[in-house]
Amino acid sequence: MTITQTVEIPPDRRITLEVPSEVPAGKTIIAFTPISDSAALQECPICTRKFDPATGNPRYNAETVAAIEEGRAMMRGDIPAKRFNSLDDMWEDLMKDDLSN
């Protein structure tokens, strides 16, 4: 079930949600997406830093863009996915990447 509701963010940035009885009780993820053509998006200093006012798309730093592309390449099968036997092995591999940059 997908429920879509358009809401306006109040000045105090507090939102109260009333959930329909059809939605099962338990943990739920609620996602908010700013509307790109909204004047409020362009006026908000946090939004203009994190979102491109022209498109409404998130802005990422170069390292995040590279990590996203690496993950997508792994999903496509272009590069092999990394697998580790332990958390220590994963951290060791991450430290090698940091030292090489």
Structure tokens belonging to residue 9 = 């963010």
Task: Using the CB atoms, write b or e for 54-90: b if 16+ within 10 Å.
Answer: eeeeeeeeeeeeeeeeeeeeeeeeeeeeeeeeeeeee
Tell me the C-alpha distance between 70 and 89, whole Å.
19
Give the global pTM: 0.39
pLDDT in tens, 21-46: 887 777 777 766 655 555 555 555 55
Residue extents of the structural domains in the chain? 32-101
Name the residue with higher pLDDT: 28 or 89: 89
Is the pLDDT higher at 71 or at 52?
71
